[in-house]
Chain A
Amino acid sequence: MARVKIKRRGIQIPPGYILLILTVFCIILMVLSFTTDAVPTALNGIAGYTFMPFKRGLTEISSYANHRADDLKQVRQVLSENQALKAQIDELTQENDRLVENRFELIELRALLDLDSEYEEYDKIGARVTGKDPGNWYSIFIIDKGEDDGIKEGMNVIAGAGLVGLVTKTGPNWSQVRSIIDDQSNVSGRMLNTSDNLIVYGNLESIKDGTIEFGQLSDPDDEVAVGDKIVTSNISDRYLPGIAIGFINSIEKDPNNLTKSGTLTPVVDFEHIDAVLVITEMKEENLPE
């Protein structure tokens, strides 16, 4: 807008002044984004309505092209896999029968212990990933559902069997999700087998090998081993309890001899996320009761 005015009046503002004005404007934006939500919300809205249709279209085109290329590659694989899978079906059918039996037993026992509420299914909204962080530093992506669909900041995002991340920003028709492998991310976790608490850190360095870090695990009896499963902790204030995070890949004692740290492999394949589920239930709402 300002540019047009300058042209018509024929006044040339020296570039130095524009630099100063814009720099101050940027700094004001930074301060505002720490203190208030008004300006960011307005910008999120404008940007969302302008860009999301294009982004959605482009994502569809690129994923279509990608899938076509994959299809060709996969046909050969599929044929050989089919054989193996048929054998597996027989095996699994037997196992399933056994598990169904166990399940009925479990339901009875749970009812007995009155633990039903804790394991209740959460309400979820499906969403498509429409864009990924343009740089190489962060693991942030955006999805095509926003406030209009009932998504709020702080909701948990899952895909397949495990935790993907957290909604960190919302627009009217889009939201930003920070994944747990992002360098800035911290998740409070718990060992499934021993119930010990730990913290899972995203790390740009180790994710190149497909792992992220964990630390502050107190395990005095050396019960935790490689391959053990980590889920979200029930003492976390942002994440709902019991969502799978990953499996321990390596573990070692910290120099303080009290805690342990190491690396874990996330359950979710972060390279190929196309669709995610957003859990509309939030941790804070459940807390005070």
Chain B
Amino acid sequence: MKRVIGLIAIIICFLLQSTLFHYIAFAGIVPNLMIIITSILGFMEGRTDGMLAGFLCGLLTDIFYGSVLGMNALIFLLIGYANGALNRVFYPDDIKFPLLFIAVSDTACLILTYLTGFMLRARFNMGYYFIHLMLPELAYTIAVSLIVYIPVRNILLLFERRNTEDG
């Protein structure tokens, strides 16, 4: 049941990300909702679920917007897995660590995308991309995760409680 909720969350995020979110872009920069959902599902549900969530997010991006199939899937897969490994230090009441996890995940995603998509094509001006693209996206993503994190956490915890009551 929880996986169905996760799946629905991923689909909603993907649809929002590629349509409505472009209307709330600041200076052409959109927050990365896909990373937020991958990260949350990862550190709340563990390695397997985090990895599957990441894989699905990445694959969807690849199919519609990528040029090489599997590239984003791999990046998101690794990020989901790493977040899942942090499941042990996750406490539902804490908000600092989840935000930190999301921030680190987004940074990792940005750096990996730069390395695979830009540096390999001899775009070496990393300082420019850092200031004009990575930093704004990171700040915006953290701001959005501040709003998104608590509702998503509560929905997931709700289903957790029901499951334990059943079993």
Chain A 129-146 interface mask (CB, 8 Å, partner B; 1/0): 011111111101010000
Chain A 251-284 interface mask (CB, 8 Å, partner B; 1/0): 0000000000000000000010000000000000
B18 and A183 form a contact (CB under 8 A): no
Contacts of A28 in B (CB 8 A): 70
B20 partner, pick from A19, A58, A205, beta carbons under 8 A: A58
Chain B minimum-CB-distance residue to A17: B48
B125 and A15 form a contact (CB under 8 A): no
Contacts of B70 in A (CB 8 A): 25-30, 33
B18 partner, pick from A19, A55, A184, beta carbons under 8 A: A55
Interface size class of A (residues with CB under 8 A): 35 or more
A176 and B51 form a contact (CB under 8 A): no
B159 CB-CB contact with A under 8 Å: no
Q: How far is the CA of A30 from the CA of B18 in the complex (A)?
A: 23
Contacts A132-B18, A136-B29 hold; do A208 and B132 have CB atoms under 8 A apart?
Answer: yes
A22 and B23 form a contact (CB under 8 A): no
B30 and A58 form a contact (CB under 8 A): no
A176 and B137 form a contact (CB under 8 A): no
Q: How far is the CA of A22 from the CA of B49 in the complex (A)?
A: 13
Closest CB in chain B relative to A7 CB, distance in Å: 9
Closest CB in chain A relative to B160 CB, distance in Å: 16
A23 CB-CB contact with B under 8 Å: yes
Contacts of B52 in A (CB 8 A): 3, 18, 22
B67 partner, pick from A22, A132, A168, beta carbons under 8 A: A168
B64 and A142 form a contact (CB under 8 A): yes
B69 and A184 form a contact (CB under 8 A): no
Closest CB in chain B relative to A29 CB, distance in Å: 3
Q: List the interface of chain B (C-beta within 8 A of A).
A: 3, 11, 14-23, 28-30, 32-34, 46-48, 51-52, 55, 59-65, 67-71, 73-74, 77-78, 81, 84, 113-114, 117-118, 121, 123, 125, 128-129, 132-133, 137
Q: Show 7 residue pairs from A and B whose CB-CB distance is below 8 angstroms, ordered by the A residue.
A: A15-B51, A26-B70, A29-B62, A62-B23, A66-B23, A135-B61, A204-B133
